[in-house]
Amino acid sequence: MAIPDYCDPRAEKHYVNSFVGSSHGDNGSMYGYRYDSTSGGKPTKMVHTSRYGRLCAYCGEKGLPLQPFFKGSFDPDSDSRVVGHMCICKDAMDELEIEQAIKDLKAKQAQEMKDLEATMPKPSNSVLSKVMAYRLKVLTEEVESGNLEALESFGVYVKR
């Protein structure tokens, strides 16, 4: 088996060259390429049909199963669950690439916003101190003139 013609170069990593036995391999060799469902592919857009199963939404080829937990038939920890389907065509690869670019852009933007917020000017301590000093002066005058309720704005109560 060879890598299908419609395979985008970015998807070739999902094919492994493996022993196929006898002389059925590529160019009469004993090796051939086969799709590897454990090679870390990501789901791409599929048209789900009851009759033909999953078909690529872009090129109509049959979706290839993704089995990230499959470790071989003889491994007791192996899990052959199919978590999705992918296609290897150009549009499917574009879909994944654009999706990743959007993710990266959002992360970059979030970081830039955080950096920008960190450069935001802070309220002046000297202004705050002056305002507080003025408030304290007024409050002190109030208390000295016998208005103890004025203390309540500072959370101080004079009562039984």
For Zn ion, the binding residues (CB under 5 A) are 56, 58-59, 87, 89, 92
CB-based contacts of 18: which residues, under 8 Å, 6+ apart?
31, 32, 33, 34
Shortest Å distance, C-beta 57 to Zn ion: 8
Which residue's CB is nearer to Zn ion, number 47 or number 133?
A: 47
Site of tokens 């993710």? 103
Backbone φ and ψ of 85, nearest 5°: -130, 150
CB-nearer residue toward Zn ion: 11 or 32? 11
- Between residues 46 and 67, which has the closer beta carbon with respect to Zn ion? 46
Least distance CB 89 / Zn ion (angstroms): 3
Q: Residues 65, 37: contact at Cβ < 8 Å?
A: yes
Nearest distance, CB of residue 93 and Zn ion, angstroms: 9
Backbone angles phi, psi at 71, to 5 degrees: -115, 15
- Which H/E stretch holds residue 92? helix 90-118
Q: Which is nearer to Zn ion, 52 or 134 (CB)?
A: 52
* CA-CA-CA-CA torsion sign (60, 62, 68, 69): positive
* Smallest separation, CB 48 to Zn ion (Å): 14
